[in-house]
Amino acid sequence: MRGTGARRAVVTTTVLGALLIPLGGCGGPGPAAPGGPRARAVDGSADKPADRPTRIPGVGDRLQRRIPAASRQVVAVYGDGKDSPDATVVLYTRRGSVWDRVRDWPAHNGGKGWTTDHREGDRRSPVGVFTLSDAGGVLPDPGARLPYTRSAAMAAPRWWPRSYWHDFDYVVAIDYNRVLGTPPNNQTRPRGYSEGGGIWLHLDHGSGTSACVSVSRPAMRYLLRTLDPDRHPVVVMGDRADLRA
């Protein structure tokens, strides 16, 4: 990973670039998922331990062991259920031997829920632990610590429903089946197209996604300004049952 403050200044307005977006895991709205924005408390919406934990709460040994020892920031995505599009995102920061719960937000994941065997077009988010190394979006860099690529090619196509048009104003690439150190909309998939890709943290439109994780605009801006490559951030994501397994 690169040091703090690294930036890209890649700006493109080509229509061809925008047409690449539907190839990603967040490509296209698909059928609307049940449920809309939820009034969920910012504090207490995910497993909240009574005292400062030495492990990420609600995450069992299988995934806990996959969190790199160097990681000092974890974005935990707690899916409400195997087939649910609703989730809670919690940011944890490690201080010494304990994990401090920093903030949390309501979120959405794949419209059909979660899977441990993600495939292109299944509309399920992949369960697992993934690094977070690159960011970007349609809008100017809001002060991101991760390398940030601004590109009009990330814009959602205007034939999508209007509520989706700003999904990719800000994004953080989830390092599932992608080349690290490249812009989020790089379409290269090292494990092949069939295993999906283009999975991001991005802005929420009020319902489930194609496979991404979506949160509010204030949440995305906060994450972009907080996730620090020197702290080796990762995302731990899945439905609560799979996370605990």
Residues 57-62: contacts with CB under 8 Å, at least 24 apart? 57/99, 57/101, 58/240, 58/243, 58/244, 59/236, 59/243, 59/244, 60/243, 60/244, 60/245, 62/245
178-202 mean pLDDT:
96
Assigned token pair, 6: 């690294």
The kind and range of the H/E element at 244 are: helix 240-244
201, pLDDT greater than 80: yes
Average pLDDT over every residue of 47-74: 88
Q: What is the pLDDT of residue 7?
A: 46
